[in-house]
Amino acid sequence: MHVIVDALGSFRMGPGSWRPLLEAGGHVGIFNPFRWTLRLNRLLRRNHRKIAVFDGAAACIGGFGYGDRWAGNPPAGWWDVGARMEGPVVAQFREVFARDWRHCAKVPLRPFPGVSFARPRGREDLRVLPSALGRRLPFRFMRRAISRARTRAYICTTYFIPSPLLRYALRRAARRGVDVRLLLPTPRREHFVFRFAGRRHYGSLLAAGVRIFEYQPSFLHAKYALADRDWALIGSSNLDTLSGLVNLEADLEARSRGAVRALTDRFLRDARAAREITIGRWSGRPLWTRILERLFGYFDPWL
């Protein structure tokens, strides 16, 4: 068993935390351990991927971390969404993990015994989109899907600090009649800075016809998007600068009606447990909220 954890994400875990796994024959890789450096991008670059590969035959992806926050049911636990796959796409997951393992351990990952990756094409059109420093690949595909959408475009994300290009694509899609909806966390459970920095964009989106829902039962940690009936994206990327430019992320692009149908059903069920933000409700927010939105909005490029 091989486990990769980010140094920042696991900083509360001391060396003894891994002893049972190591004594059982497992291996642990620490991504980007803290070292003295003047390179800010070195300090900020974190591994935010959430993937798992089992015997080279199955893989999982989503927003789930391994911690108590995900262990309980709402409202105690965080709400998240993931996907499990089998077939040829698993080889792509293993390749991503193997690259990260070489970065951590400086040794190649041993092949899975008795597993061949030369398999026939699967029934679904799936591919992994691993991000790298400065590469906004998942965002580019998302903007393209929204720009081409004809009936609907739904996005669920934890941290909503959209780029100008994405905001433009969302507004333009809504104005041409596409059913555009956003499912976001309730401010009561969100981090203070992100709460106001992201919400300042609500006004222009609502005016264009975008519908915005804030999930109420617990903290929403899911990250996925869908367009029409044949495109979906699910993984670890938030809609913020850290995910777009700094962190290592992994997302699954699915051109599959079955995957899109399942995510659409999930989105609509969760939206029923959310509070819709209307133009009237948004216009009536307090003055102090507007001031904080403008203040923290200046930090958009760094969030």
- 228 has catalytic annotation: yes
- 106 has catalytic annotation: no
Select the more confidently predicted residue: 67 or 270.
Answer: 270
- 50 has catalytic annotation: yes
In the structure, what pLDDT confidence band is assigned to residue 117 with cuts at 50, 70 and 90? very low
Instruction: Read off the pLDDT of residues 165-217 as tens digits, 9 standing for 90 and up.
Output: 999 999 999 999 999 999 999 876 566 677 777 788 899 999 999 999 999 99
Residues 6 or more apart in contact with residue 218 via CB below 8 angstroms: 74, 75, 76, 77, 78, 79, 189
Marked catalytic residue, from 6, 50, 201, 270: 50
Please name the residue that has the structure tokens 């290009």.
165
pLDDT reported for residue 86: 92
Marked catalytic residue, from 201, 223, 240, 251: 223
211-215/179-185 β-pairing: parallel
- 221 has catalytic annotation: yes
Residue 47 per-residue DSSP state: B
pLDDT reported for residue 41: 55
285: three-class secondary structure by DSSP:
coil
Does pLDDT of 257 surpass 60? yes
Give percent of the chain with pLDDT exceeding 90. Answer: 48
Instruction: Read off the pLDDT of residues 5-43 as tens digits, 9 standing for 90 and up.
Output: 888 877 777 778 888 888 899 999 888 887 665 555 566
Tokens of residue 97, six digits? 């993990």
Instruction: List phi, psi (to 5°) of 62.
Output: 165, -155
- 103 has catalytic annotation: no
pTM of the full predicted structure?
A: 0.89
Marked catalytic residue, from 221, 240, 251, 270: 221
Q: Interior CA angle at 298 toward 292 and 300, to 5°?
A: 105
Marked catalytic residue, from 6, 48, 80, 270: 48
**C-alpha to C-alpha distance for 234 and 106, rounded to whole angstroms:** 29
Q: Interior CA angle at 176 toward 276 and 206, to 5°?
A: 25
What is the side-by-side order of every strand in the sheet holding 231-235? Answer: 125-130, 250-255, 231-235, 224-227, 152-156, 179-185, 211-215, 274-277
- 251 has catalytic annotation: no
Q: Which of 69-78, 99-108, 137-146, 285-294 has the highest mean pLDDT?
A: 137-146
Q: Do residues 161 and 196 lie in contact, with contact meaning Cβ atoms separated by under 8 Å? A: no
pLDDT reported for residue 135: 64
